[in-house]
Structure 1
């Protein structure tokens, strides 16, 4: 991978701290990516690990055999800059011995190599036990025997010829250039995680996980002034196959009249979005600079998803609440005392936020997590009140739960699994209510679509968010584009200002492909669903004006 492409990739993931291990691996041909590892062989290898761990004194052991496939295509204007096909294959083994965790991993995928790694994991656990104050206590999980699950895709993206994908991307680039773009680059990320999990609880789980992310950036330059503006794609990464890019009919949802914005549900029109992006980037060059003050904010799902991620997703991770992430990413204002009262008003009564790793098409969708726990949906905020966190097997008892929530994940076979954010989503409104209905109810406001720069403190409380596109709302109508917009609030104040949510027909998924966490750092892919939502009395600043 070229240095320029590496830098470009690292800048694409919202919240990414650095690139995941599985972006790197052995280069292979597209044809080799379609080969599979026999499930009988994987079970035999898993048993070798489990038997070796038990023979050395482990009271619990699990093994993850992972084959991670990646294909990335990068273009700029009329050229293909890079095509990368990689494979990484290996085994991670986690054990409890003497009441303590131990972990080891190996790329030697043989019975002998795996048994050796299992013995090493037990030795590490016993060494760790010398400083362990309390033994690890796991929430019970009943073994499920031999089961399999696959992302319900219609078209395997890896089976689509690279030439066909490149043609689509270059066609999108061409449309942007025809529309007045000065520069355009596009990317297509495709990931396939072939994961086999086995444990001493009696589970042998084979899962085939697929994700895809089409993306681009359009830049328009005013040659006279030297001023330039950009517009990123309004796509969302999805847990789908190539049908996301060539689905028919296209499922699109119009934004407010006067914006020319489209949102996409289960299929995405890259060419259409690139065409609109060029037009909107040019509009931004002459857009009015916002006047600072209090506004009603109307937030599109492709924007609100990031706000949900940062102000609800991260602060309700139990390990963060307990201080385990303090050294790296901070703590959380949503402390245990607030949860225990069951009265802490995180948001208004309209705010119902749920976690769900079963959501079809989402990035986090799997049948079982990386501890062999069956995934599910649960409430995090109910009628505005904080009611639960995100917890895995060795955390559940800390909040009085009898079972794990099923949100344990490792980004690679060489990484130890730990608590990761499931899909965290805002439930849509229950009554029929469209985006245009919402705009009509706003006297002075701003409509925001797309992601932008943001800042949030280490307790996930005080924040500032920008966006991609901004439109002024006056007396119930969109009156034109705005620039230099960012809104400021604290998490509790913001969510308590939630005044209206559009209905299910407007509900869409936002996604973060590279969400960073942990030491050593890992990334995970997670979706956040919502419908367009209104927030009253939010402080807006002008980012171009000096204080």
Structure 2
């Protein structure tokens, strides 16, 4: 076999394995046309749900909720001039959660008939009763009114599954070509698409039908200097979004320039993949000769596409109430922001830090009408002028912090998984005073501008951390003076957020997002966005990440 043929075939194998290994992309491989087939009629879903609700009540449940879900996924994978894989999956079934004897029980089934639903409901009650023998405290649910029969649909303009696969492949290969034409040695690109068709019913009196869409175009570009053997990479600056295929139709008004001299373009509600791929190749090539950073204290100016990850890890996760209470200790850690710590009133950040949680922002990954407990979603404050004022919680947690309602952030990755507390969108509010990126940079005497997220690490309490990025630019006396390399900053959560000196205004506000945020045992994934404008942090410790072999 020729080497070229071997590489091509192994590339196809890699692409074939990639999709099923991604959390949330489970299900049966199907013909793409099946993704466009009509789902189950809402009247039929109500009848199926009632079968489960009635069976659970008859078996002794005091509360029951039912989730009937059809989950559609498609991933298209390319490398240079070839398609590696196209995989479409469908998963359909129901999950039934009950309280009996004051204890949770859960069962799931892919036999979505009235008899199958009733049998699963009875099993859930049996499990709850068995669990009650070791339950120390009875479940306390925050009250929740029923909404009757309601629906919510993501406000997309073009269903990505309706776009011919050829058109999507052509876009990815065109992006690859742009990268190769601009100096890339290697490039791969991917397009993920998700549609969750979810029906929720509960003994509270809700029957909620929802249609949720997500999309994620991304790529990786590598440039190799054959003479020296050095190579540098740059990942896409796209963000996964709760949008349809319209996200891939670029609009000039959605482009946001980084500071003068940085050659960085950010994107709001539409993404120019071809432009980003060409720019990525040029920047990866420039990285080969970029100056290696001198360690020390720098003022950092962080682009939203970068800052989103720092928000995610140092605010989103530590303020999940189940983590605060120690429920995640065996797997994903705990939190420094305990109830006792909050009571002391120590500042989480500077007066410039106002952070909100929500499941509402249009286009965000977390946007839904109702969560997986049938709670209508909302926005609420987490940090106000640097002070921690609230956590992220669900119905059976609210009483622990003396509150009477859920925040509507309960989620399960599929019908076969039990729902539990997940991170909502967590976002840093932009400045209410007009402030451009160039104006923000102008006040920096010695600093670094960072765009894109890279490798990171953070401890089990979400306190001590280190973050990298995709591209870095030196700031000297208020101006960008050139690209840097080997940059990462080390900090702890309180030092970092207390060093926040201000942000740009709403005109610069953008989302960063994460398609597969893992949590729980067994692990589940969820999708979440983090909004912010470009933000400045003063006197942050920067290290040089280059490794020198002796």
2:240 equivalent to 1:237: yes
User: Aligned to 1:5, what secondary structure does the other structure show?
Assistant: helix
Q: 2-side partners of 1:241 and 1:539: how far apart?
A: 40
Q: 1:246-297 CA deviation, whole Å, 9 max, x = no partner?
A: 1444510000111111000110000000010000000000000000000000
Counterpart Cα distance in 1 of 2:235 and 2:19: 14
SS in 2 for 1:451: strand
> What is the alpha-carbon distance in structure 2 between the residues aligned to residue 69 and residue 249 of structure 1?
31
The residue number in structure 1 matching 2:8 is none
Between the aligned partners of 1:131 and 1:53, the Cα distance in structure 2 is: 21
Give the one of 103, 106, 116 matched to 1:113. 116
Distance 1:323 1:486 in 2: 30
Q: C-alpha separation between the residues in 1 aligned to 2:166 and 2:408?
A: 39
Out of 310, 313, 319, the residue aligned to residue 310 of structure 1 is: 313
Q: State whether residues 61 and 95 of structure 1, in contact with CA within 8 Å, keep that contact through their aligned partners in structure 2.
A: yes
Mapping for residues 148-297 of structure 1, pairs under 5 Å: 148-249=151-252, 251-297=254-300
2:406 corresponding residue in structure 1: 404
C-alpha contact (below 8 Å) 1:391/1:405 kept by paired residues: yes
Q: Partners in 1 of 2:278 and 2:432 — Cα distance?
A: 34
Change beyond 3 A, Cα 1:542–1:6: farther
Match of 1:15 in 2: none
Partner residue, 2:529: 527
2:54 to 51, 54, 60: 51
- CA gap 1:60/1:3 in 2 versus in 1, 3 angstroms: farther
Give the drift of 1:355. 0.1
Q: Report the Cα offset of residue 348 of structure 1.
A: 0.1
State whether residues 510 and 527 of structure 1, in contact with CA within 8 Å, keep that contact through their aligned partners in structure 2: yes
Structure 1 residue 338 displacement after superposition: 2.3
Match of 1:371 in 2: 373
**Alpha carbons of 1:344 and 1:44: their partners in 2 closer, same or farther (altered >3 Å)?**
same
| Contact 1:23/1:70, CA 8 A, preserved across alignment | yes
Instruction: Encode CA deviations 1:155-188: one digit per residue, 9 max, x unaligned.
Output: 0101111111111111110010000000000000
Shift of 1:337: 1.2
CA distance in 2, matches of 1:248, 1:512: 23
Cα distance in structure 2, aligned partners of 1:7 and 1:207: 30
Please state whether the residue corresponding to 1:4 is helix, strand or coil: helix
Q: Report whether the alignment pairs 1:330 with 2:333.
A: yes
Task: Give the SS at the match of 1:467.
Answer: strand
Give the TM-score normalised by the residue count of structure 2: 0.96
CA distance in 2, matches of 1:319, 1:132: 17
Q: What residue in structure 2 maps to residue 4 of structure 1?
A: 14
Q: 1:424 aligns with which of 418, 423, 426?
A: 426
The answer to whether residue 486 in structure 2 is matched with residue 476 in structure 1 is no
CA 6–354 in structure 1, closer or farther in 2 if over 3 Å, else same: farther
Counterpart secondary structure, 1:298: strand
- 1:444 corresponds to 2:454: no
The number of equivalent residue pairs is 538
Q: Describe the shift of the 1:7–1:448 C-alpha distance in structure 2 as closer, same or farther (beyond 3 A).
A: farther
Specify the SS of the correspondent of 1:240. Answer: coil
CA contact (8 A) 1:74 1:81 kept: yes
Separation in 1, partners of 2:442, 2:370: 44
Offset, 1:5: 2.6
Structure 2: 5+ residue stretches without partners: 1-10
Do the aligned residues in 2 keep the contact of 1:66 with 1:91 (CA within 8 Å)?
yes
Q: Quote the RMSD (CA, aligned, Å).
A: 1.3
Q: What corresponds to 2:7 in structure 1? A: none
CA contact (8 A) 1:338 1:386 kept: no
Whole-angstrom distance in 2 between the partners of 1:138 and 1:101: 11
Aligned with 2:67 (options 55, 64, 67) = 64
Deviation readout 1:106-147 (Å, 9 max, x if unpaired): 111111111100000000000000000110000000000000
Q: Cα 1:7–1:425, aligned 2, differ >3 Å: closer, same or farther?
A: farther
Residue pair 2:71, 2:196 contacting (<8 A) in 1 also = yes
Q: Residues 334-358 of structure 1, C-alpha deviation per residue, up to 9 Å, x if partnerless?
A: 01012234x2200000000000101
CA distance in structure 2 between the aligned counterparts of 1:435 and 1:418, rounded to whole angstroms: 39
The 2-side partners of 1:443 and 1:247 are apart by 35
Mapped to 2, the partners of 1:463 and 1:351 lie a distance apart of 19
SS at match of 2:317: helix
1:514 to 488, 513, 516: 516
Deviations 1:427-481 (A, max 9, x none): 0011000001011111100000001000100000000000000000111111110
Q: Distance in 2 between matches of 1:538 and 1:546?
A: 24
2: CA distance, partners of 1:139 / 1:152: 30
| C-alpha distance in structure 2 between counterparts of 1:326 and 1:541, whole Å | 30
SS at the partner of 1:315? coil
Q: 1:340 aligns with which of 334, 340, 343?
A: 343
Between the aligned partners of 1:247 and 1:91, the Cα distance in structure 2 is: 38
Runs of 4 or more above 3 Å deviation: 6-10, 247-250
Gaps of 5+ in 1: 11-17
8 A Cα contact 1:500 1:533, kept in partner: yes
